[in-house]
Chain A
Amino acid sequence: MKPLKDIVRLIRNARIKTANTANARVLDKMRAAYDDSSHGHTITDTGGHVVRLAIAAAILVAAGVLISHLAQLAGGNVAWAEVTKRFEAVPFFSVSIYMKDDATDEPTQMDLWMSQDGHIRLRIAKHVVFAYDGQIKAYDVASRQAVEPDEMAKVFIDKIGQAGEFSLEAIIDVMFGGRPTDVTPLVNPDAVISEDMIVFDVALPDTPEWVRIWALRESRLPVRIQMWDPRDGASTDAVFTYSKEQPTAFFDPNAFSGVLQTHNASNTGVVYAFQVDPGGKNITPEAMFQQSGYHMPVVKQAGMTEDGAFWVLAEQALNRMPNGNPFYGFPRVQDDLGRTYVSAAGSHRSRDDASLNIFVPLDFPFDGNRPSRITLFCEAHVQWPNPTPELVGTVELTQWDRNAPCPDLSSGGDRSSLELKLSLADQLDAPKHAGRLARLLATIPSWSEQPENERLLTFWIRRADRQADFEEAVRIGQVLTPLLLARPRGQSRYSFTEHLVALAATNRLDEAKTLFARIDGLSEPTPKKEERYYGIYVEDLIESLAENSGLSADQIGEVLGFDIGTNDAYRQAAERGKRDAGSAESDRQVQERRAELAAYYQGHPLPEKAELIDRTRDCEIYLGGEKNTLPGHPGYRILPINCGISGVVSNLRTVGADQSDARKVHPYQAAIRFAGGLEDRRFNADLVYREGIKLPECFRLVLAARGLELTTEAQAVQEVFVARYDGRQLKNCPAVRVPWNVDAEDKGLRAWSVADLLEVLSQRMPPGCYILDQTNLDKFVCVGNGDPTWQGAEGVEQAKRWLQEQFGITMAKEGRTITTYRIQRRAQ
């Protein structure tokens, strides 16, 4: 029986479409109802901060003309006329807009830049939007992709465009949907605190909200506009900056798109790309880098501990890459013995820009060799597009302090050898280091020997968690968690994850719930609850609970105290965890089976060509991305056989090994006859075969291993559907989509051949119906995901129509002698 999530998916995916004509009719009725409701309508609220975006845009961009209008209302004051002229003469201005939903809300900020000739650039959240002459282009800074401008940005730009012609009435028109209004701005002498500035108030019609405008008397330019709602303290503040014209590239979406392609550009570098500060200040880390470049740190001291760890203390240690990411001191070392070093620890003290880098040889602490020369590398690991680090410079050392304890920058004391061992052990996870790791672990004390050592406890609880030894993890957690909670500050929420996961995995859900409530109730751990990283922490926790503890979404909700299904990201995290758990289980089974087969051949001769070995238990083995080699027996490989005899026949057809006429008959299962009392049955076995034997041969060997062979035979005249192709030019495969529901995100997209389509169609037809494929089309013709929804007689007809329209494949019912498969025992 399928899990409940499949039922949920089935329900969610059950679609309804609507007829366009009916849609138009319903919409007409809605519009009529809407229009009818306009009589006597009074505006009472301007909505939330999203709303104020548009209002703010309208107001602030309109400011120049607004002031012009104010001038008229103020009796044609000459000074205000000058203000208008000044504003019109400004070649470029930018505005920072801050919006609050209510008095205690954190403000949301956005940026707007506009040039005299009407070019607009806008940053809303992670989107940068360009607009000019009715054309809008939007880019997402996070994904570095061009995106559809979202609804809000479109309307926003539209509002700016509308307000571009300006009068105060025009602004109000934009803000209040075209209703006639009567607005009188008044000079507010009480708000003026200096002769330098003049302040105007605008009362808005039908609402208690008001607008205040500050302008400089001398320069005649508006510097701030504020809109205020006294009902809840919601406000919008716009602060103006004026400067000389920005470079053309600043408003050019194509130039911006080029910056997006520079994948190592910082977010700041992207958002403010091409902006030139009027005072010549750096705006982005890239600009900073252009001035500073890299520099070589200065080695102050270096030493080697008694057990062979090498450390180097450097000054002027901080370097920044063009994207602003820092690196400290010397990230890599090399010695004249050619050994591999692992970075075991590193720290930086910003007070005097000093860094400490500590390295251990791979066989620390057993490696007794001592080098006579060590090279320090200062290099920047700019990941993209070049994975090779950028070398800043090297320093050759032939002298350093011998048997010198490793210093600790933060405490001023020495760093223990145990810390370095723990750090190295954390990095020796690869199977090739298994022996090395075991040797190292034997030198590390158990957690119960040092129950106050938080670092040691953390190391062991992580190991227990990784090895799914959750009972042990619970025992460690019971000691570690009180230590962490007693820490005055600085603990991370992630430190509790292993304990929480272990409690959940051992079915102590109530304890897990209590622990989570306790951690969640604390204000100190990072990330703080109000930080955006808190959501990511919860997602990670949900994923761990699903993957490692095997909890369902409901159980996770029980532990966390809320329904995770209401949050898309949380729901997806749980699904991800489940998927990963399934895949981990599948990988484990593969590894187990490979080891089992390898062990079997320790006591048995390897086969000349191939051997089919039954599994000792009923299971299915899927290699996925795992290797199919036979460990310890080079030259041999494994092919899991999870299907039945008919499945092997299907595989032979799929890999093109069967060239008989029987391959043209669909459905394939109905075209197989088991002779001599044979029956289809599942193999549940693995074929161990010599490297070099091709897949088709492997499948024949599987049959042969059971003493079977595949032949064909003619079936007397049958009524079959003969599929023929009219020879038309077919579109490229990716250009044709399957006609059934497809995932909009193109997940799991696969290519379909005509044989695939006919096979599915034949399986949807009543039993006893055959399709004989005479199209001679043996290529992929379309793409899609999911399974065809052709059901019942209507579905079959739909499918036939689609095949004809799309590919020119027709079906004619004819009486034919067909060739089918026959599975029989081999004569010898």
Chain B
Amino acid sequence: MDELTREFLIESQEGLDRMERCLTDLEERPQDAGLISEIFRSVHTIKGTTGFLGFKRLEKLAHAGENLLGLLREGKLVADGPHITGLLELLDGLRLILRTIEAEGAEGDGGDDVLISSLGELQVPAGAAVNQPVAVAIGAACVPAPAAAVSLVPAQPRTAGQPPDPASVAPPSSKAADGEPARTRIQGLGTAAESSLRVDVTLLNQMMNLVGELVLTRNQVLQATSADPNMTLLSRRLDMVTADLREAVMKARMQPVSNIFSKMPRMVRDLQHTLGRRVRLEVEGQDTELDKSLLEAVKDPLIHAVRNALDHGIEPPEVRQAAQKDAEGTLKLRAVQECSHVLIEVTDDGAGISVEKIRQKAIERGLITPERAAHLTERELLQLIFLPGFSTAAAITNVSGRGVGMDVVRTNVEKIGGKVEIDSHSGKGTTLRMRIPLTLAIIPALIVRSVNQSFALPQGALLELVHIPPRQFATAIQWIENAPLYRLRGKLLPLVFLDRLLMPGIEPGIAARRDNFIAVLDADGRRFGLVVDGLADPEEIVVKPLSAVLKSIGIYSGATVLGNAELALILDPGAIALRARVAMSEEVQSGGGVEAEPETNRRKGVEYLLVDAGGRRAAVPLADVLRIEQLPLSRIEYVGCRPVLNFDGQLLPVEDSGGVLAAAEADPANQGGPERQIVVVVCREGNRQIGFAVSHVLDVASGGDLFEAGASQRADGVTLLKDRVTDVVDLGGAPTLPSRDQEQGEWNQFAEARQ
């Protein structure tokens, strides 16, 4: 295939992807001239180039589509369900031919006559098409064609980009108002395309590698030149430039999630036809960016999740109406970045997952025993759907229900170091949450020592660390025959000695004479303790692939170069668990996989920052904490009687429920002496930020649920931290700063309060 054809294929694919996005948008805004122009342009470009390259079949089909689009663009027709279905078929037809060209170099000789003639039929204007029973349901209001509503100049595609006179695009439907922003967006796309450049991914990978190399060389230069004051300045500069370069290269690999989200409207549309559902798709956070390879990896799980939501989640319209719900279900896709993770949520407002059904099914399938099932909480039962071979669908449909869905979702997401959680309320809906690391190339890891070497242990699998000094060794580690066990908070944890695993011939007595550390790991539900000789710092490591010979050993997932230029092999916790025969199946049967870790399973990821606020222990969800600032008391200013902080030019309300500020202000030691420092925890609450004044920050800990005695209801506002009941700070309860409308009223309240 020559360069020109390849270029044409890539360009056409992009054009068709854009067309697909526009088509699904068009269904919601049939009057949007900008969208039609965009679609027209895609098809027109393909037609133009094919004529030049001599692909007759493609040209003929594109021409038929262009005729229809021309009418739509001139406003002689209004895009409604059948039109959009027709255009989507055209899209598929064009894609099929492009694929054939890609595979065979020629366009093949399939028959497009049916498609062409049906496109021709659609060109017949008037009410016939409008009155047809419309199977499509994405809320496309079929407004009768206002003949001269859209008076765009045809031909030259450029003119289509100009914003037309808003009055002339204003048909009775209010939806047309959407046309304006849509058009500016498309214009924005145009300029972006001009200033961007297509780069081969392998080149980017290579750049990433070289940057990794540069980082290491820099580390060595920094160490070597630290003594020489002349070089220090230069090497600092090298340090900075390297860091910036690394960031830029990483950024180059990032792509917006819209690349995969944009496939969803079409899929949802097709599925609701097949399944007889009515669904409105809401998409949020399209601009969130993710490493390209991760984005690819998330695609399949996301498709599974969306299918599941439509098939099992959202009920048919009649059922929904009977349940007093809107006949049209809502499916929400949301992507948001949280620290070093991207959270992708698929939320439906469907029937939710029946916990009872899961219980029955799990027992039926022999996944758990009835006795065990009776003891599991709702949340624990929900996690069972991630087990292989689990499906609650009454009938197997061709959409989902083969029992491979959810465990595939989990396996795929965990493969890239992510996590999956599910949350469901019967009758209200289900949320599937995928937590994806920002990049695959760099992962946080704990460096451990064993057999005089360093090994990297991915942080994702690490639950906690236990230190066993030599004199406690004999009592702390217990044996059943030759299986070592550690009693972790009353439960027996199987242990794996890393040195014995790596060097089967090693003298067993040696472990008793040195310090031992147990890294408690959770690898896909297999929980065990890995015993190592030493711990080094946690590091962000760049993962390097291993050669096939070393990969086949099975327990290493890669290698990395540490900051001190030493090489470290990356251990694969799952493979170690398998090799040491820490079996998952046994654990599930004995309930270990589910029950032995109620805290981690039930509230995985819910970590709290433990603080001391005026002598009282309080907890702030760690995910909401943005920064912890220590600053002089004088930085706190007051609006009315409300403490605020001028933070980088932003006004931050400071919550002082612990009375820390008041105490500090009143403290006599404050007078005269060196200025008193206070600690403010800056948190995120909804769309705003709030400072929380505390005396000290104590620790970070994982919270456990507390249940009210007698009721299985989770108690709100408190959590179990370090075995003590602790208040969770209610950030939502913090009052907002007075806005202009409220000001007066609030001010009066202040005045009253002060009197």
A binds B: no
* Interfacial residues, chain A to chain B (CB-CB below 8 A): none
